[in-house]
Amino acid sequence: MRERDLPVALVQVLPWNNGDDDAADSIRELNAGIAALARRGGGVPVLPFHDELDDPEDPGRMPRDLTTDGNHPNVAGYRQLGEQAWRMPQPASSSFGCD
């Protein structure tokens, strides 16, 4: 899309409440790969969806009040993504331990 001068961004995979600890680890690895891909792409912004909805009390899961089914954000969760994560795409970082 850069050839057409269109903005490009990537997004992190969301936390998954219905997954187990292995799934949470796999999502962290996938997000590290997304960050690495963004850096290789010349600093493509990454929308921090996972970071925004990750429950600090239960890492790898969304707070229960931000999901109704454990798979997807609810209206409040999508609102939070829209108000926070979507506003300021960040260059790929090493927040997942990937340099």
Topology of domain 2-91, CATH: Rossmann fold (3.40.50)
- Mean pLDDT in consecutive groups of 10 residues from the start of the chain, 99 residues: 76 97 97 95 91 96 97 96 72 46
- Which helix or strand (DSSP H or E) is residue 46 part of? strand 45-47
The rounded distance, in Å, linking the Cα atoms of 68 and 40 is 36
Domain boundary assignment for the chain: 2-91
Separation of first and last alpha carbons in the chain: 25
The pLDDT, as a whole number, for residue 41 is 87
Q: How many CB atoms lie under 10 A from the CB of residue 39?
A: 17
Would the pTM count as exceeding 0.95?
Answer: no
The pLDDT, as a whole number, for residue 92 is 56
